[in-house]
Structure 1
Amino acid sequence: MFLFTVTKPGLRQAGALALCAVCLCGTVAAAVHFSGDAVAAAAPVTATVETTQDIGTYFTGYGFETDLSSAAVDKVKIPKKWDDSFTAFNQVVQESGLDLGSYKGKTVEKWTLLCPQLSTGDKDTYCVLLVYKTKPVGAYLLEKPSGEVSGLVTAAKTAAEADGVEIEYPED
């Protein structure tokens, strides 16, 4: 037998939590019902990245399948002073809802995974996630051997349009 005592403030908190859960379920149900063939433009909220699987899940949220067996990690340092090219690079990163501005001078992990769906015989495309203390701080696509970088939203939109799928982007 269990005895459970709830005080009035505790009851109010439990009620508020239940109300939030019902609203969230309703919102998700409505989004699923009215989404049709739309592709989500934002990755699921990932508070921490601790495993290669977490990184694969991050990119799957943008519609990119990754080859987890190709995962590689390096340490890179975000420069303290930015020139025009690094500022432009940060604008590409900002497309994923992340920003490197708060990480100037910090060393981050650079996770690189092959993206087979965007790779062809003459070029390979890699999904790159920059992680600082298990927190994603930057994401982009890297094309090799050219070294060209592109934003996740732009690439997802291009890939979806090639497949004939309608894209819906949330308002910022």
Structure 2
Amino acid sequence: MFLFTVTKPGLRQTGALALCAACLCGTVAAAVRFAGQSLPASAAVQTVIETTQDIADYFTGRGFDTDLSSAAVDKVKIPRKWDDSFAAFDGIVQESGLSLADCKGKTVEKWTLLCPELSTETNDTYCVLLVYKARPVGAYLLQKPGGEVSGLVTTAETMADAAREEAVQETAAAPEAADFPTD
């Protein structure tokens, strides 16, 4: 800690100016030193949803391809008081790192986009993003016509497991190079 005592006003102002200049130089030096380095993975990223493309990018970043031509928006109201089923629904939403707790009693936009890779001949799967004031507050997957709701993380893990299993089966079915006679 520094103690700086000057009795003349001109010297006091000059000293304060020098101290501010030293702090500014330190800040600039730190900014130059750390420029271009990425943030740690735990740093929170604020997502702003302004267009349909932003919604598609949100789901693409989580491993789900969507069909932009199927985009639809509705307004839904988050209940002020939650029963057990809505609390369970919020648990599914929390898999995406979001929560509806701050939106109780508020009206949000519900954006739905078809997810072709998860759709079948009998069921269509939709990626759903709930948006309040251009910020995502909830995300989940919805199957129609059944109405089954699933979390993004659970489904992404299931997809990754299925891809690994398929790769293992393809590897096991491929003939080994050692099985062929060599000259």
Secondary structure of the residue aligned to 1:164 is helix
Which has more radius of gyration?
2
Cα deviation, residue 46, structure 1: 4.4
Query: Aligned residue for 2:51?
Result: 51
Cα deviation, residue 77, structure 1: 0.4
Counterpart code for 1:66: T
Higher relative contact order (CA 8 A, sep 6+): 1
Q: Distance in 2 between matches of 1:83 and 1:122?
A: 31
Query: Aligned residue for 2:103?
Result: 103
1:147 matched to 2:161: no
Cα deviation, residue 17, structure 1: 2.8
Secondary structure of the residue aligned to 2:138 is strand
Q: Using a 3 Å threshold, how does the CA distance of structure 1 residues 163 and 102 change in structure 2: closer, same or farther?
A: same
Query: Aligned residue for 1:135?
Result: 135
Cα deviation, residue 160, structure 1: 1.1
Counterpart code for 1:13: T
Q: Distance in 1 between matches of 2:25 and 2:68?
A: 45
Query: Aligned residue for 1:76?
Result: 76
Secondary structure of the residue aligned to 1:17 is helix
Query: Aligned residue for 1:156?
Result: 156
Q: Using a 3 Å threshold, how does the CA distance of structure 1 residues 63 and 83 change in structure 2: closer, same or farther?
A: same
Q: Distance in 2 between matches of 1:92 and 1:19?
A: 42
Report if aligned partners of 1:78, 1:106 keep a CA contact under 8 Å in 2. yes
Unaligned runs of 5+ in 2: 1-19, 166-183
Percent of residue pairs identical: 63
Query: Aligned residue for 1:24?
Result: 38
Counterpart code for 1:24: S
Residues 84-128 of structure 1: per-residue CA shift (max 9 Å, x gap): 000000000000000000110010000000000000101000000
Query: Aligned residue for 2:22?
Result: 8
